[in-house]
Amino acid sequence: MSLTKFGTQVREYRHTLNMTLTTMASGLSTSSSFLSSMETGRTKIPMEWVEKIASFFNEKGLKVSKEILKALACEDNESVCLEGLPPHQKMLVAGFANSDFNHEQLMRLGKLLADIHGENAKNGSDEH
């Protein structure tokens, strides 16, 4: 077992803040073993904890995207929670999960979505 993608990111944030696992655990009123189990993939990562952790880092002055952390955690958990999503999003997620898109098609779709919603989207739309 190695670090999960979520764990790698969280440990990087801690290093940036020069914060120890114990300090983070006590700041979140939990144990270092609980945090460690999420970071190493011994347990599934509960989504409410992803939110708590993202808020914790933001409170410490580090700009952390809740969405990115959640996406990493979902990938590690190998499951996506559909709870609370509007019906069309649920359909989209389920559709993608069961699609037979090949790697190349998914890459192209991913790039298209990134172009549409990415940081440079505004600049791009101004060009034409």
Partner 1 sequence: MAATNTEPDFDYRMRGQRVHPLAAEDINFVSQRVKKILQLTKRGFSVKNAERTVASFELYGIYIDVVDDRQWFDATRATVDPASGMIYMPQKLYDQLCRGKAEAIRIFLHEVGHIVLGHRPLLHFANAEKNPTHIEDSEWQADTFADALLDLLKLPKEDAQLELRF
35 vs 64, which CB is nearer to partner 1? 35
Shortest gap between Cβ of 17 and partner 1 (angstroms)?
A: 11
14 vs 70, which CB is nearer to partner 1? 14
3 vs 47, which CB is nearer to partner 1? 3
Q: Please report, as ranges, the residues that interact with partner 1 according to CB under 8 A.
A: 1-3, 11, 14-15, 18, 20-22, 31-37, 39-40, 42
Determine the Cα–Cα distance for residues 108 and 115; give it in Å rounded to an integer.
10
The angle, 0 to 180 degrees and rounded to 10, between the axes of the packed helices 66-77 and 47-59 is 150
Shortest gap between Cβ of 32 and partner 1 (angstroms)?
A: 5
Shortest gap between Cβ of 84 and partner 1 (angstroms)?
A: 30
To the nearest 10°, the Cα dihedral for 40, 46, 51, 52? -80
22 vs 105, which CB is nearer to partner 1? 22
Name the CA radius of gyration of the chain, rounded.
17
Determine the Cα–Cα distance for residues 35 and 22; give it in Å rounded to an integer.
9
